[in-house]
Every structure is written in C-alpha cells, then in structure tokens.
Structure 1
Amino acid sequence: MSGPPFAAPGPDAAVFVISVAAELTGLHPQTLRTYERLGLITPGRTVGGGRRYSARDIERLREIADLTSSGIGIEGVRRILELDNRVAALAARNEELQAELDATRDALRQALTGRSLDQAPANKLPVLRQTSTGQSVVVWRRGR
C-alpha cells in the first residue's frame, strides 16, 4: 500500500512536546515554562492546552541557553533577542527596498532607451510618468 510521500514539517510547525523540547535543548521543562512566562518563547498549544514547540522554538531555546550559560542575565537575553529581531526585520526591509530600487532603475532605463525623438515611451509601470514637457521623468514611491 502506498500513501502520499512523507513531508517533513516546516521550521514553524509546533510538533515537539515539552519533554522532547527539554531534551533537545538540555534545559529542564520548568525552565521552558519560565521562559514562556517571561515572554522569551511562545510555544504553540494543542486543543487541550498542551505546549508544542517548533524547530524554530528549539533553536531559540538553544540560543537562550548559550547566552545564559555565558553569564548574560535574562533581561540581557531579552534585549539581545529583541535586537536580533529588529536586525532581521531591517535586513528584510532593506532587501525589499533594494528590489524596489532595482525595479525602478530597470523601468527607468527601459523608458529612457525606448524613447524616440517624436514619440513618448510607452510606460507600463505606474511609478513612472513623463512630465508635460517631455524632457524628464519623475519617479516617486507610492505610499503603503
């Protein structure tokens, strides 16, 4: 009998019970509960209320364990994790802006190379518009 192929759960799939998460991280289950109470980790919950940890949660718990074992207090750990999250968010935003800038430059390049002396270029992108004089292109960014 052949069924569908097994697919490994993603990094955010909450699949580990607290005892397995404790074993994988080398932490006591009560420590995991304390970290949850302090807001350092937020495991998923079953319908019955049991905690379920994801691979990403396990990685975060290991990071917390490494930081605390090197002498950093819980508030220091909280601040480090907060700053890590901010850095990741800023890096993602930077990538978005870079992609937008690249697309705008490409569109501008296409608009400028497609221009003939007596004909304005056909502009298919809403972020580029030719001015009434036909001499310049105004590029702006739409609000979100």
Structure 2
Amino acid sequence: MALEDTPQFVISAAATLAGMHPQTLRQYDRLGLVSPRRTAGRGRRYSLRDVATLREVQRLSQDEGVNLAGIKRILELESEVERLQRQVDYLRAYVEPGRRVFTADRTGDVVAVRRPARATRQVAESGALVLWRPSR
C-alpha cells in the first residue's frame, strides 16, 4: 500500500487538514464522496489521498459552485479515467510490433498473447476472439 493510501488520520485530524468540520466529513462519508477505512471499532481513518479528495470536494463546491451530486459524479468519472489509463499503460507495456496478438478472454478482458506462432493455438484453445494481429 502506498503511503498516500495508508489510513492514518482520525476524523478530527483529517477535518483540520481539510479545513472542514468533522460533521461535514461524516456527511461526505454517508453520501459516498469520501469513504475512509474503518478500524475494528468502526472509527474512521483517513489517508492523505482522502484528505486531498476532501480538499477537492471543498474546492468544487465553494469555488466552482458544483452541488454534491455533481461532485460525486465528477469523482466517479475521474476514478474511471485513472482506471482506464492504468489499463492503457498496461497494454502499452506489451506492445512490441510483430510480436504480440491481443485477444479478449471469456470475461471480455483484453489480454496479450506473446508469440504469434503459438497465438493461433492459444486463441483456439482459449476460445478468445482476436482483436488485433500485427502484419507479418
């Protein structure tokens, strides 16, 4: 787990760092805007990433005039963009012209098959659909 994702702040400390009242953090948690980790006793523990998100929520609300439903949607879309960027980066790591075949496995995920000579056999055995094959 990265340092910025380590739960380390109790609600009062996180509220101070974000410049908010603790009750605001509780409301945001109920709304699903920022969901901190919980201790065994159900106490909230905020990470540095959570505090940064709280600050962004405050900025969008106060400076941009976005309502909480809009902020929630913005945060969801940003999260989706980050997930897709990680997938693109992962796929780029496997691209070597003339050496890779990309397929979709049974779950619909894109996977790379390393060697074209084996790719035909692997694709046939897995039942995957070839999405792209480099020209020979």
TM-score, scaled relative to structure 1: 0.68
Judging by fraction of residues, say which structure has more helix.
2
Q: Relative contact order (C-alpha < 8 Å, sep 6+): which is higher? A: 2
Tell me how far apart the structure 2 counterparts of residues 24 and 106 of structure 1 sit (CA, whole Å). 52
Instruction: Indicate the RMSD between aligned Cα atoms, in angstroms.
Output: 2.4
Pairwise CA distance, 1:107? 3.6
Q: Which has the larger radius of gyration?
A: 1
TM-score, scaled relative to structure 2: 0.71
- The equivalent position to 1:81 in structure 2, one of 72, 75, 79, is 75
Structure 2, unpaired ranges of 5+? 101-112, 129-136
Identical counterparts, % of pairs: 42
Q: Pairwise mapping of residues 120-135 of structure 1 onto structure 2 (< 5 A)?
A: 126-129=114-117
Structure 1, unpaired ranges of 5+? 1-8, 109-124, 131-136
Judging by fraction of residues, say which structure has more strand.
2
Partner of 1:46: 39
Q: Pairwise mapping of residues 1-144 of structure 1 onto structure 2 (< 5 A)?
A: 10-70=3-63, 71-102=65-96, 105=97, 107=99, 126-129=114-117
Pairwise CA distance, 1:106? 6.5
